[in-house]
Amino acid sequence: MSLTSWFKDYVYIPLGGNRVKLPRHIMNIVTIWFLTGLWHGAGWTFVIWGVYFALVMLLEKFVVGKYLQRLPRVFQHAYLIVCVAVGWMIFDASTLNESLSHIGLLVGIGADSMSSVVIAYYARSYAVPLAIGAVGCTPLPRIVWTRIKNKYNGKWFMAVLEPGFVGCVMVLVTSFLADGSFNPFIYFRF
C-alpha cells in the first residue's frame, strides 16, 4: 500500500473526504497534506512542504485551475515543474532559511551573476543530461520512434533496439548522478 492510498483510505475518507461542506473539505485537504509532511519528518521544512502542496492544490482546485486548463500544454507543464521544484527545495532543505535561499536562487535572487564560476561549472557538467532531458520533453522522440518502428517493423534488431536504448540512457543518467559527488538516498535522513 502506498502512502497516498493509506492517507486516503484511513484519514481523508474517514474525515469525510470531499463529500462535506466546502470549509470542511478545505480543512480535510490541509489536514492530509500537513500529516503527509509530518510523516516525512518532524522538521519544520517537512511540515511546510506539506502545507505548501495543500495550498497549491487548493489554489488549483478553487482559483486558477480553470485558467490553467485554457493555457497551452507547454505552460501547464512549466507551471507543474516550477511548483514541484519549489516543493523539493522546501523538502530537501535543512532549515526554512535554507529553503528560502534556494528558492531565491531559483529566480535569480542572491546569485552573483550568470557569469559566475559555479554556474559555468554546472552548465558544463550537466549540459548533456539537460540537452537529453530537453529533447526528451518534446514529442520528437515519440515521432522518431514511431517512424523507425513503422519502417523496420518485424526486423530482428527491433527487439534489441528499444531495450538497448533505454539501458544506455539509464547508464548515462546513473553515471551523471554518481559522478564525483556524495549523493545519499534522501530517505536516509529520516
CA 112, distance to chain mean position in Å, is 26
Set 25, 40, 77, 102: catalytic member: 40
Average pLDDT across the chain, whole number: 85
Residue 40 appears among annotated catalytic residues: yes
User: 3-state SS string over 66-100?
Assistant: HHHHHCCHHHHHHHHHHHHHHHHHHHHCCCHHHHH
Reading the block at residue 63, the C-alpha cell is 482559483
Average of per-residue pLDDT across 158-165: 85
Q: What is the residue whose three cell numbers read 502506498?
A: 2
For 80-120, write each residue's pLDDT tens digit: 989 999 999 999 888 889 988 888 887 777 765 555 677 77
Q: pTM of the full predicted structure?
A: 0.69
